[in-house]
């Protein structure tokens, strides 16, 4: 009898070990471009190597993915883990008690001591409890330029927005689209946000985005912003509506366009195309005017599984721990084109653009919150509608657009 009991115990342990090692987590995200896919593979490989199984749930386009992910979680069909932007994207889901609490793990691993800037972890914290793990710092405050396009047209590579705008007419004459833009609404919204800093200044950005100042929203600085957006509208090609961001990046990579205002995830596309920062392309943080970063970025949340499934929660904790580990932070961010959320890792192999970002990160005065971190999704949506309507419709005057902007900020939460 003892032998059978022994065998049963062994098989249970094996089964337990096996079942503990065999936990599959479906992970949803919207990283489907070449660079994004290469980056998320680093996470998936690390999770598989840990003895669990990453079931990839890629959904193209953040604008499509977010509502689908939210409806699955609220509809009782939760995934094991999901990307959201670091910020208020998932605030309602956390407050509804639908997300696994990571506080114990965060405290055990000292996330408060290793994640910087601290506001990345603050953005994951609700009522003192931690519900997500930030995985990168992505800033939208960048411009990407094809050096060869300017050199072939006998021009110096622009070093800031005004030089870029001054060079635009000559590029157009040469049949090159000055500014590559994709029509996904978040692209227009976030490109507009870079003008707020570049044309209005760092303090005005903080007054509006953080303090919701109506006075700043109505200021001359914002008038300059709307005028610059109206000017940018004349630099794009007619085919931008509906264009994915990475297709716009590819226009710069292939020389069909001179430059693109896009988050630093564009770097992943240059990398997979074999181009080198400082050689084929250049990068201007803060559009070369005020070198800043905004701490946009991505974080992973872990929806509570249906019913009591401790093995799933255990696998969720293992994945959360991996995502903030030194190895994954370096491997993932180097491919993603973003900056790591921890300062104690070796980023010597980062390219010159990423090194510019790391340098800016050393002075927190030049590190700004992103719109996802300062506005509710509802306010973000209102701003997105305004920016897109203004960019798409030259009949809307600067005065009319700015008046609508003031109203949105007046009631912003």
Residue 142: closest CA among 308, 299, 368: 368
Q: What are phi and psi of 357, to 5 degrees?
A: -65, -40
Tallying the residues shown for the chain, one arrives at 413
Region from 30-38, 107-115, 173-181, 389-397 binding ligand GAL, contact rule CB under 6 A: 30-38
Can residue 30 be called a binding residue for ligand GAL (CB under 6 A)? yes
Q: Name which position in 245, 301, 387, 391 contacts ligand GAL (CB under 6 A).
A: 245
Crossing angle of the two packed helices 326-336 and 310-323, in degrees rounded to 10: 60
Can residue 298 be called a binding residue for ligand GAL (CB under 6 A)? yes
- Which tokens in the block code for residue 395? 């009949």
What residue ranges in 202-351 does DSSP mark as E strands? 257-261, 281-285, 293-294, 298-301
Pick 29 or 356: Cβ nearer ligand GAL: 29
Q: Count of CB atoms within 10 A of residue 212's CB?
A: 18
In the chain, helix, strand, coil percent, each to 5?
Answer: 55, 15, 30
Can residue 138 be called a binding residue for ligand GAL (CB under 6 A)? yes
Q: Which of residues 60-79 bind ligand GAL (CB under 6 A)?
A: 62
Residue 280: closest CA among 304, 259, 311, 302: 259
Pick 36 or 207: Cβ nearer ligand GAL: 36
Can residue 27 be called a binding residue for ligand GAL (CB under 6 A)? no
Can residue 36 be called a binding residue for ligand GAL (CB under 6 A)? yes
| SS3 label, residue 266 | helix
The distance of closest approach from Cβ of residue 60 to ligand GAL in the complex, given in angstroms and rounded to an integer, is 9
Q: Name which position in 265, 375, 387, 391 contacts ligand GAL (CB under 6 A).
A: 265
Can residue 264 be called a binding residue for ligand GAL (CB under 6 A)? no
Pick 30 or 270: Cβ nearer ligand GAL: 30
Can residue 89 be called a binding residue for ligand GAL (CB under 6 A)? no
Q: Name which position in 27, 42, 69, 85 contacts ligand GAL (CB under 6 A).
A: 85
Can residue 224 be called a binding residue for ligand GAL (CB under 6 A)? no
Residues 52, 243: Cα–Cα separation, whole Å: 37
Handedness of CA 230, 234, 240, 241 (dihedral sign): positive
Judged by the rule CB under 6 A, the positions of this chain that interact with ligand GAL are 30-31, 36, 62, 85, 138, 245, 263, 265, 298
């Amino acid at each position: 009898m003892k032998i059978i009991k022994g065998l049963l115990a062994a098989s249970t342990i094996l089964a337990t070990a096996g079942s503990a090692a065999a936990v599959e987590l479906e992970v949803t995200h919207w990283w489907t471009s070449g660079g994004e896919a290469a980056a998320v593979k680093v996470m998936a490989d690390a999770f598989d190597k840990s003895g669990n199984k990453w079931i990839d749930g890629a959904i193209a386009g953040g604008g499509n993915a977010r509502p689908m992910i939210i409806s699955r979680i609220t509809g009782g069909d939760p995934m094991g883990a999901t990307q959201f932007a670091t910020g208020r994207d998932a605030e309602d889901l956390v407050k509804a008690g639908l997300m696994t609490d990571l506080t114990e793990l965060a405290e055990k691993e000292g996330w408060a001591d290793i994640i910087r800037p601290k506001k990345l972890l603050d953005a994951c914290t609700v009522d003192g409890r931690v519900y997500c793990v930030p995985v990168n710092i992505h800033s939208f405050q960048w411009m990407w330029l094809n050096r060869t396009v300017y050199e072939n047209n006998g021009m110096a590579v622009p070093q800031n927005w005004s030089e870029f705008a001054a060079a635009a007419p000559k590029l157009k004459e040469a049949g090159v689209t000055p500014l590559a833009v994709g029509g996904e609404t978040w692209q227009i919204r976030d490109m507009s946000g870079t003008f707020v800093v570049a044309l209005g200044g760092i303090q005005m950005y903080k007054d509006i985005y953080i303090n919701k100042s109506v006075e700043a929203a109505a200021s001359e600085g914002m008038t300059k912003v709307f005028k610059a957006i109206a000017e940018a509208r004349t630099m794009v090609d007619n085919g931008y509506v509906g264009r994915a961001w990475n297709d716009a990046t590819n226009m710069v990579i292939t020389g069909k366009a001179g430059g693109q205002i896009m988050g630093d995830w564009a770097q992943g596309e240059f990398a997979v195309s074999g181009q080198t920062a400082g050689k084929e392309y250049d990068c201007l943080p803060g559009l070369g005017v005020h070198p800043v970063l905004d701490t946009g970025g991505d974080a992973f949340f872990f929806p509570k599984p249906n019913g009591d499934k401790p093995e799933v929660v255990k696998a969720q904790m293992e994945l959360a721990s991996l995502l903030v580990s030194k190895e994954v932070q370096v491997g993932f961010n180097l491919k993603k084109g973003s900056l790591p959320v921890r300062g104690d890792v070796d980023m010597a192999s980062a390219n010159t653009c990423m090194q510019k970002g790391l340098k800016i990160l050393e002075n927190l005065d030049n590190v700004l919150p992103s719109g996802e971190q300062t506005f509710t999704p509802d306010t973000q949506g209102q701003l997105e509608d305004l920016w897109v309507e203004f960019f798409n419709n030259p009949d809307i005057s600067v005065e009319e657009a700015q008046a609508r902007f003031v109203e949105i900020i007046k009631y912003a939460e």
